[in-house]
Structures are given as C-alpha cells and as structure tokens.
C-alpha cells in the first residue's frame, strides 16, 4: 500500500494510474473501525484501485468540541487499510488542506439541508464537511466515493453538493455497521464510560422500535416521537434532537406519504451519539 503524505504525492500517484482504471475513495478521520472498513469493501467491488484518506478536519469542529481530544491512531489505521486491500492511503497535514488557515479558506455551503438536525445543533459543522469533501474529491478525482448511512444527513448534503457542482463522482451510501448489541459503530463510542456503553444501545433500539411502531400500526408520528424522547430521558440520555423527516429533503414529516426516517442525537455524559432509522 502506498502512503501518500502530501498533496503532491497524492497527485503524482493519481496521475500515474492508467486512464481506464476506476478509482474508489473512502474519506475518513481515522480511528478506524469495521464501519470504515466496510466503506473500503464496498468501493473495492466497484473499482480497480481504492484510496482512503485520513484527515481530522478542524473546519468541521466547533470551538467547544473535541478536536484536540479526537483519537488519532495513524499506525493502527494504516495497518487496517492495508489488510483491507487499500491501494493508497492519503494522509495530508492541515497545512496541505488549509494552506492559509481555516478561517481564510474558501468554504462550500449547501443550503436548506444544513439548517436542521446536526446543522442546527452544530453551526458551521456542515460547512466544514462539504468544504473538505469537495477538496478531497478534487484532489483524488475518484469515480466513486463511499459514505456511511449512520450520518444520513451528511450523505444527503454531500449528494446535493456533488449534484449541484457537477462533480464527476458517484456517491455510494453504505448501510450502517452496528455492534452486536445494535449500537451504531462510531469513533466516539470509545469515549463512553463502562456504564454509559452498557446503556448506549437503548438509543438505537428506541429509534428502531419507534420506526417499526409507526410503520406497522400507523401510530401518530408526533406521539411516537414524544414517547421515545421520554423513554430516553428517563433512562439518562440528554436528547439533542429526535425528529421524523423526509429522506429526500429533510423536511419535517407528520405522515408517511414519502420515505421518512427517524433522526436522533443524544448525549451520554459528554459523548454525543447520532443514529437514524428508516420508517
């Protein structure tokens, strides 16, 4: 596996590929788990070579968020990528990506989809995501890039950005990979205390049961959401949001006349968890 530590190295490697070779891409922030490896596995099936990036993007972290504490496990990550059959790992520095600093870098904004859910709770977060993803797509020039469905809002935002800016990359949405107890895999799960980790699967289970109840019985969505919030709050979660929204435009949903998902974000201690379930 090639380890490409600069923009020039990445560009030279990309230029060296044959024109007919199809390139797959999995952008990550490192601290890899099985969910990330599934991104590699999916794009491998659609590509001749696969590139993964490891970059902890400061532009998507707020001032009071965990940028400094975010786990950085580069050696272990590279070993996992090589074992998964990744052809190249791109590990740029912050200066590579933001040569004039984050505040002076051109930003990419996607309207409407970023005003709700995580966009409302974490102002500026999606501006950081779309800016770095657009830059990575421009550098790597992949034919297909994979993103996990756990971050469904992020997927919808990126797909709109790619469509609106006529980027020549297909976006592949990979189903959420879960632990044996149902908790969605996340790099932040490692922050959970022993007791909080034992409680955490109730979040995913509650979303699943809410979606099933609405789908199977036609239960009122707003009532089902309110009941689920009460269950989580009583169990010890701090609910950031729990909402039913259309999956095509994230508009609020009160009926099932279009595909709808339950989106949730909660805190256990200082750890923020997100998940979603399609109804």
Question: Which ranges in the chain are annotated with CATH 3.40.50.620?
Answer: 2-174
Phi-psi region of 184 (alpha: psi -120 to 50; beta: other; left: phi over 0): beta
Q: How confident is the model at residue 78 (pLDDT cuts 50, 70, 90)?
A: very high
Choosing from 33, 36, 125, 194, the catalytic residue is 36
Q: What is the pTM of this model?
A: 0.95
Average pLDDT, the chain: 95
Please tell me the distance from the alpha carbon of residue 262 to that of residue 213, in angstroms, as a whole number. Answer: 12
Model pLDDT, residue 62: 86
Q: Which DSSP symbol is given to 178?
A: B
Question: Which ranges in the chain are annotated with CATH 3.30.1300.10?
Answer: 187-278
Model pLDDT, residue 63: 78
Residue 257 has pLDDT above 80, yes or no: no
Q: Is 143 a catalytic residue?
A: no
Residue 58 has pLDDT above 80, yes or no: yes
Looking at 3.20.20.105, 2.60.40.10, 3.40.50.620, 3.40.50.12500, the CATH number of the domain 2-174 comes to: 3.40.50.620
pLDDT digits (tens, 9 = 90+) for 11-52: 999 999 999 999 999 999 999 999 999 999 999 999 999 999
CB 35 within 8 A of CB 41: no
Nearest-5° Cα angle at 182, 148 to 113: 35
CATH 1.20.1730.10 corresponds to the domain 187-278: no
CB 186 within 8 A of CB 159: no
């Amino acid at each position: 596996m090639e380890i490409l530590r600069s923009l020039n190295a990445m560009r030279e490697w990309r230029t060296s590929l044959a024109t007919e070779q199809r390139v797959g891409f999995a952008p990550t922030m490192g601290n890899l788990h099985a969910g990330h490896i599934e991104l590699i596995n999916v794009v491998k099936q659609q590509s001749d070579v696969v590139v993964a990036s490891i970059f902890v993007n400061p532009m998507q972290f707020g001032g009071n968020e965990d940028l400094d504490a975010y786990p950085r496990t580069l050696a272990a990550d590279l070993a996992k990528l090589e074992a998964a059959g990744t052809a190249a790992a791109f590990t740029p520095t912050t200066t590579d990506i933001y040569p004039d600093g984050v505040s002076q870098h051109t930003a990419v904004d996607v309207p409407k989809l970023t005003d709700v859910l995580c966009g409302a709770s974490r102002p500026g977060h999606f501006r950081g995501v779309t800016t770095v993803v657009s830059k990575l797509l421009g550098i790597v020039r992949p034919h297909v890039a994979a993103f996990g469905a756990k971050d469904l809002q992020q997927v919808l935002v990126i797909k709109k950005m790619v469509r609106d800016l006529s980027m020549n990359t297909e976006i592949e949405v990979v189903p959420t990979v879960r632990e044996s107890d149902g908790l969605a895999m996340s790099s932040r799960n490692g922050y959970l205390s022993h007791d909080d980790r034992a409680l955490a699967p109730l979040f995913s289970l509650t979303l699943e049961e809410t979606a099933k109840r609405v789908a199977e019985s036609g239960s009122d969505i707003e009532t089902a959401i309110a009941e689920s919030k009460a269950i989580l709050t009583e169990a010890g979660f701090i609910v950031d949001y729990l909402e039913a929204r259309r999956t095509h435009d994230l508009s609020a949903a009160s009926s099932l006349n279009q595909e709808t998902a339950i989106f949730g974000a909660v805190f256990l201690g200082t750890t923020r968890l997100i998940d979603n379930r399609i109804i």
